Amino acid sequence: MAQYRASLQASLACKEAIEQAISAHYGDNRLNTEAAVKEVLEQFGPERMQVILANTVLKKEYDGRISRDNKAWAKTIPMPEDGGDPRHSYALVVDKVNPGLTDLFLKQARKVLQAPEKGSVLEKLKQEPPERRPAAPKKREPER
């Protein structure tokens, strides 16, 4: 039970971090989704953030400000059991920011999480080049 409570507290903190990141990175009618998502990912990791976002979308399934793609994605995320108290899943809904901003945040989060790890160009340049083999001679085909 102690482990469940600790996990619930971490999830509540993640929900609040998402709300704070969206609020902090919103200005002039723009949301810097990259910075907001990076901030939450660094603090809580992808699994917990996905669960909070999926839970939010599932609880707001009929909200037209959330895209169909994000609604379909949320249904694919396995949700943890709520420990016998369904109120816990409602406590983990991102609701202190506009759902349209939450949708933008989620779209960026999905993009970041689905992108394969790309190394920096500088790191690739620092690596030793692969051994070069002489090219195989080209076959000469008769002219037609």
In a domain, residue 98? The reply is: yes
Q: pLDDT-based confidence at 87, cuts 50/70/90?
A: confident
In a domain, residue 15? The reply is: yes
In a domain, residue 135? The reply is: no
SS3 content of the chain, % helix, strand, coil (to 5): 60, 5, 40
Give the E-state strand segments of the chain in sequence order: 26-27, 30-31
In a domain, residue 10? The reply is: yes
In a domain, residue 66? The reply is: yes
Q: pLDDT-based confidence at 40, cuts 50/70/90?
A: very high
**pLDDT over 90 at 82, yes or no:** no
**pLDDT over 60 at 122, yes or no:** no
In a domain, residue 71? The reply is: yes
In a domain, residue 132? The reply is: no
Beta-bridge partner residues of 30: 27
In a domain, residue 49? The reply is: yes
In angstroms, rounded to a whole number, what is the distance separating the alpha carbons of residues 38 and 16?
A: 15
Owning domain of residue 103: 2-115
The domain total for the chain is 1
Question: Strand 30-31 relative to strand 26-27: parallel, antiparallel, unpaired?
Answer: antiparallel
Q: What is the pLDDT of residues 100-111, one digit of tens each?
A: 999 999 999 999
Specify the higher pLDDT residue, 92 or 139: 92
Residue whose token pair is 């996905």: 50
pTM of the predicted model as reported, rounded to 2 decimal places: 0.77
